Amino acid sequence: MKETNAIIERIRRVNTDFQRLELSVDETLLKIKPGQSMMARLTESWNPYLRQQWWPVNLSRGKLVVERPANEMYEPGQVVPVLGLVGQPFRFRGTGALRNVLLIAYDTPPTPLLMTIPWLLGNKISVTLVLVGSAVSYDTQHLPPEVEIELGDIPQLPADTKNPQPSTPSDADFSWRNQIMTLGWADQVFVTVGPDDELNRFSKVLG
């Protein structure tokens, strides 16, 4: 792991809440694989805890593409110190035994999982992306049309509830319409959950 500079070459808004940054990076970062990330330093502080975790979503024309919230401000030509590679790559089964992959985002955007999609589709492997909890608000229109999208259930309050409060995505149980079927045919499952209560969320996933 080492610190290098990434140069923002292009910025593209992909939906109402997210933008994608096309980065010129050191050749070591071009070896990044799904499941790995890098830590970006956007302040003058060297404190590692003040870095942002940037997840790649694609490699395009020798550039590394990351997805960031749309409310963050960046400019073409901006230089960002980044530390990487961070983490271990996802371990896929052999392509001969891998036909259907299920990706699940629970109370968090699916960004950490998105880099798997180009590789899986390129190897004729079908992909289903399930968005559960607050992840249902993630706009998927920019994703490849071959990706099947399933949205989690949001509970509705009874009509006779006094002073009802509107349901929010984070109120949802860990369930979706075709849950039994999608879990049954999946040869492999990859999950990302909201970081504020990982143990509780993973226990629901495993339960």
Rounded distance between C-alpha atoms, residue 45 and residue 35, angstroms = 27
Strand partners, 130: 104, 150
Q: Domain extents for the chain? A: 2-86, 95-206
| 3-class SS of residue 126 | strand
In 3-state terms, what secondary structure has residue 179? helix
Give the C-alpha separation, 106 to 99, whole Å.
23
Architecture of domain 2-86: Beta Barrel (2.40)
* pLDDT digits 0-9 by tens, 31-40: 999 999 999 9
Q: What is the mean pLDDT of residues 50-61?
A: 90
pLDDT digits (tens, 9 = 90+) for 100-147: 999 999 999 999 999 999 999 999 999 999 999 999 999 999 999 999
| Structural fold of domain 95-206 | Rossmann fold (3.40.50)
As to burial, measured by CB atoms within 10 angstroms (0-12 exposed, 13-18 middle, 19+ buried), residue 106 is buried
